[in-house]
Homo-oligomer: A and B are copies of this chain.
Amino acid sequence: MIIALSGGVGGAKLALGLSRILKPEDLLVVVNTGDDFEHLGLSISPDIDTVAYTLAGLANRELGWGRHDETWSFMETMEALGGETWFRLGDRDVALHVERTRRLRLGESLSAVTEALCRKMGIAQRILPMSDDPVRTRLLTDAGWLDFQEYFVHRRCEPVVSKLEFAGAAQAKAHPDFLAALADPRLEAVVICPSNPFISVEPILAIPGVRDAMIACAAPIIAVSPIIAGRAVKGPTAKMMTELGLDASAGSVAARYADLLDGYVIDHADMSEVVSIDARVTLAQTLMTTLEDREALARIVLDAAAVLRRRRTPRGQRHAAAR
């Protein structure tokens, strides 16, 4: 069994690759919900939806969000009515949000709603929100504190970020199935997908008990760098790293996970960084353009994890040695 920690687009691509190699019941995708927000009265979970649409074969690859078979009457009409249109919602996408919101209001958990809707979309793998409790990523910027989507979509990542917080994370409970999977002796690897560390992966790690459970878990933890040659494939990762006073490099991302990583997959372009990374490094083509790229990278990650399982120093011992 494999756990994949994922944010949106980049994570979803690798999750798709993994889904095409593994048996459906052997993949658990744990998804960031720090991007979730309430908009137009609807409960929207952008990362869950991106992963779900991707695994269902419904994702809009041109836009990088939403569905490929989308229509836009809702948004056109919302604009004509003078409503808010900065967060683009397709007609089919709205149906998902309305149905999710309706079920959440009836008291169903986000994970239960996600599971039911994913099943209806024909997804055989399990997509699990990191928590059923609300966690909301907020950013301190030169325009003040901003909610995530305000920063990310409305202001197009333009404000300069100096700090992040994950509101609610300290009170949130990690989903019990996530913690159970981390403790499961059948677990073969935890894959940290090539998502933005600050806004996609660290909200997951910020939930009490998650980092400890990952450190304690017997399976190797292997990350894929979201940075290739100093640039992010998509989104504000590199810009944000620079603003936070970090090198925009594969090595800097690895340093964020230093206490967790057994293995790290970086692009051939970043070979020179190998020396600075405190994990077993695998070089690969990490840019996933085609479906074959996704599958190929997934295979490399799983192969690297298999090697790590045979050779690794248990994480506890390594940490003991480091003290």
Question: Which A residues lie at the B interface, using CB under 8 A?
Answer: 40-42, 70-71, 73-78, 80-83, 90-92, 94-96, 98-99, 101-102, 105, 116-117, 120-121
Contact = CB atoms under 8 A, between A and B. Distances in A.
Contacts of A71: 71, 73, 91
A175 to B, nearest CB: 22
Tell which of A73, A101, A120 has the most Cβ of chain B within 10 Å: A73
Contacts of A116: 82
A74 B99 contact: no
A40 B92 contact: no
4 closest A-B pairs by beta carbon, nearest first, are A73-B91, A77-B95, A91-B91, A77-B92
B76 A92 contact: yes
21 contacts: A40-B102, A41-B41, A41-B101, A41-B102, A41-B105, A70-B73, A71-B73, A73-B90, A73-B92, A74-B91, A74-B94, A77-B92, A78-B99, A80-B120, A81-B120, A81-B121, A82-B99, A83-B98, A83-B102, A94-B94, A94-B98
Contact of A99 (B83, B95, B98, B99): B83
Contacts of A105: 41
A71 B77 CA distance: 11
Tell which of A41, A80, A96, A105 has the most Cβ of chain B within 10 Å: A41
B91 A78 contact: no
A310 B95 CA distance: 56
A91 B120 contact: no
B102 A77 contact: no
Given A40-B102, A70-B73, 13 more contacts: A41-B98, A42-B98, A73-B95, A74-B91, A74-B95, A77-B91, A77-B92, A78-B98, A81-B95, A82-B99, A83-B95, A91-B94, A98-B98
